[in-house]
């Protein structure tokens, strides 16, 4: 009786809550609000503690340094001393954020966090167009849990804005092609926005923007063929309007650098695509996509299989052929860089959403077999990670990455969650709720751990040393009121990049060492310091040291 009474009480409490949540979920904008809250928290919560952040020299330091140069010179079109290899729009978002919020890692990374949240919203909207609400909602929440996406959501670069613009363009095509808009004038507006988005993507990433357009051509052509020639004019009109900032920036660059302004853009694209050994990314991109999108990358395989069963040819192309064309192009190219793979991550999230939705609602034999395969893979990975951790703790192997208690603890939690997800999945193969719980447990745990590790400076903080150096009270006072001359710093391009951002006032020293003026401050290499010590007329005071470079005062 007591058990029955307790059970009925719990049921009386639980049922109204579930009923209320279902009503909220049914509300038109509730899902978007949840996505904004969760993705916004994950995207922004880590950024505002500057003491746990520092730039990666390449490429964050490069983007931040060049954005700072725009602000220092006041020239938003041609601030460089010679023709630049990228369109200036690559730096505008970071420069604008720095102008609004001040110089710092948080302001340089805010645009990426913002466009990451916006991308999650667009992924949800795309999911609504091609699948159902549950699948779309799952896809949007899975996106920020993937390590590669999470990293670049907190990274000072234009990559997230570039991905967002391409996603937005695709969503506009889907909206224009929907049954509700085919017979209305709204479709022309959607095609116009599609063109603007493609052009702005070029402003941000120059010729890389042509890759998704090329991969989308059959999808675009199929969509336009169904809707008539008039849409082509609106698409082209949007592209022309969106291209205006590109034309203006190139005009200013041409006035400053001549024909080199064009040649450098083309040459950079050639070097990146065909400038070295081809097929450099043949194994690189598949491997990082599998590892840095786990577990969603694994689950998405079933989603891509399900997509190929769609009757709609356009959607089959968009969801399977389009990502494959991009992946193939990246694998063939002579450059292997992780941020190029970001273009594929949203489609892995969408395929994962379709897969999970199908797996928890389908009784097909294929669904059962794939759930079984996933469960065993989760268990195998979890046990493998646990064995590696035991080897590290017992001293049988030395793993430098596992050098801090918080990392060891995170490693243990990940292995434990994988084992738990595997066991829950194996025991409940016929129970859809068990499978969804195991996947949810992995995704939530992974997102929380990434957020914690980033928040305390384990991730996103590779060069804390230079911040410690410039923030030493005595050093900081000197840097704020004096120009620092750099000698021999060019030998280490990463250090040079970081100094150009973190030093408030600096100049390259161009004269001979025997012409150094007294009461001047220098950042010098060890070799340059030895040369200066040979001059007896100088009195050299060593103030501080950063890596292999010395901060000195010459009297």
Phi, psi of 364 (to 5 degrees): -65, 150
Is the confidence at residue 224, as pLDDT, over 60?
yes
Model pLDDT, residue 55: 92
Which of 55-59, 143-147, 428-432 tops mean pLDDT? 143-147
* Burial class of residue 283 in the structure, from the number of CB atoms within 10 Å of its CB (0-12 exposed, 13-18 middle, 19+ buried): exposed
345-392 pLDDT, tens per residue?
999 999 999 998 888 776 566 777 888 888 899 999 999 999 999 988
- Tokens linked to 82: 């010679």
Do residues 199 and 242 lie in contact, with contact meaning Cβ atoms separated by under 8 Å? yes
Phi, psi of 526 (to 5 degrees): -60, -40
Beta partners for residue 546, in sequence order:
549
The H or E element spanning position 550 is: strand 549-554
What is the rounded CA–CA span in Å between residue 134 and residue 136?
A: 5
493-544 pLDDT, tens per residue?
888 899 999 998 888 888 888 788 878 899 998 888 888 888 878 888 999 9
* Percent of all residues in the chain with a pLDDT value above 90, rounded to a whole number: 54
What is the rounded CA–CA span in Å between residue 160 and residue 342?
A: 8
What is the rounded CA–CA span in Å between residue 348 and residue 70?
A: 36
* Mean pLDDT, residues 84-111: 94
What is the rounded CA–CA span in Å between residue 227 and residue 108?
A: 42
CA end-to-end distance (rounded Å), the chain: 92
Band (27; pLDDT cuts 50, 70, 90): low
Judged by average pLDDT, the poorest of 61-75, 198-212, 239-253, 347-361 is: 347-361
Beta partners for residue 552, in sequence order:
522, 542
The H or E element spanning position 138 is: helix 133-142
What is the rounded CA–CA span in Å between residue 461 and residue 101?
A: 20
Band (225; pLDDT cuts 50, 70, 90): confident
459-494 pLDDT, tens per residue?
888 999 999 999 999 999 999 899 999 988 887 888
In the sheet that holds 484-487, the strands lie side by side as: 506-508, 484-487, 520-525, 549-554, 540-546
180-221 pLDDT, tens per residue?
666 677 888 999 999 999 999 999 999 999 999 999 999 998
What is the rounded CA–CA span in Å between residue 253 and residue 265?
A: 11
Beta partners for residue 541, in sequence order:
553
Model pLDDT, residue 262: 87
What is the rounded CA–CA span in Å between residue 367 and residue 408?
A: 35
Beta partners for residue 550, in sequence order:
524, 545
Is the confidence at residue 330, as pLDDT, over 80?
yes
Q: Select from 361, 251, 238 the least CA-distant residue to 306.
A: 361
């Amino acid at each position: 009786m007591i058990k029955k009474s307790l059970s009925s009480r719990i049921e009386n409490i639980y049922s109204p809550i579930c009923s209320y949540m279902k009503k909220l979920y049914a509300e038109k904008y509730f899902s978007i609000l949840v996505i904004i809250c969760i993705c916004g928290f994950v995207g922004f919560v880590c950024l505002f503690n500057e003491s746990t952040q520092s730039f990666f020299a390449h490429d964050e330091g490069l983007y931040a340094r060049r954005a700072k140069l725009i602000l220092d010179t006041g020239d938003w079109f041609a601030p460089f001393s010679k023709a630049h290899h990228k369109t200036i729009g690559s730096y505008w978002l970071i420069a604008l954020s720095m102008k609004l919020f001040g110089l710092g890692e948080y302001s340089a990374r805010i645009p990426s966090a913002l466009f990451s949240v916006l991308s999650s919203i667009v992924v949800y909207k795309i999911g609504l167009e091609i699948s159902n609400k549950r699948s779309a909602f799952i896809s949007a929440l899975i996106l920020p849990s993937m390590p590669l996406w999470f990293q670049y959501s907190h990274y000072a670069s234009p990559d997230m804005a570039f991905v967002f613009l391409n996603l937005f363009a695709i969503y506009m095509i889907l909206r224009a092609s929907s049954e509700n808009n085919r017979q209305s004038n709204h479709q022309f507006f959607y095609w116009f926005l599609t063109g603007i988005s493609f052009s702005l993507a070029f402003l941000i990433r120059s010729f890389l923007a042509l890759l998704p357009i090329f991969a989308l051509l059959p999808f675009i052509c199929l969509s336009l063929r169904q809707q008539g020639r008039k849409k082509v004019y609106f698409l082209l009109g949007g592209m022309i309007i969106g291209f205006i900032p590109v034309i203006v920036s190139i005009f200013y660059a041409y006035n400053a650098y001549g024909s080199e302004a064009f040649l450098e853009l083309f040459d950079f694209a050639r070097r990146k695509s065909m400038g070295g050994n081809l097929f450099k990314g043949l194994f690189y991109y598949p491997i990082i996509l599998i590892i840095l999108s786990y577990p969603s990358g694994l689950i998405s395989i079933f989603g891509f299989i399900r997509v190929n069963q769609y009757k709609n040819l356009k959607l089959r192309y968009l969801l399977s052929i389009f990502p494959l064309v991009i992946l193939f192009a990246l694998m063939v190219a002579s450059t292997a860089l992780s941020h190029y793979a970001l273009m594929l991550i949203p489609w892995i999230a969408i395929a994962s959403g379709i897969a999970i939705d199908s797996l928890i609602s389908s009784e097909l034999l294929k669904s059962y077999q794939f759930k079984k395969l996933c469960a065993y893979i989760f268990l195998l990975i979890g046990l493998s990670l646990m064995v590696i951790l035991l080897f590290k703790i017992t001293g049988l192997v030395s793993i430098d990455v596992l050098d801090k208690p918080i990392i060891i603890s995170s490693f243990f939690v990940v292995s434990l969650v994988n084992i738990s997800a595997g066991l829950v999945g194996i025991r409940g193969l016929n129970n859809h709720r068990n499978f969804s719980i195991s996947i949810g447990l992995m995704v939530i745990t992974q997102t929380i751990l990434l957020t914690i590790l980033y928040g305390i400076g384990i991730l996103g903080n590779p060069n804390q040393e230079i911040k410690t150096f410039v923030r030493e009270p005595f050093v900081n006072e000197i840097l704020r009121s004096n120009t620092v001359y750099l000698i021999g710093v060019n030998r280490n391009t990463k250090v040079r990049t970081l100094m150009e951002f973190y030093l408030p006032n600096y100049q390259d020293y161009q004269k001979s060492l025997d012409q150094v003026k007294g009461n001047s401050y220098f950042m010098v290499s060890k070799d340059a310091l030895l040369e200066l010590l040979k001059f007896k007329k100088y009195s050299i005071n060593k103030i501080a040291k950063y890596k292999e470079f010395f901060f000195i005062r010459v009297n």
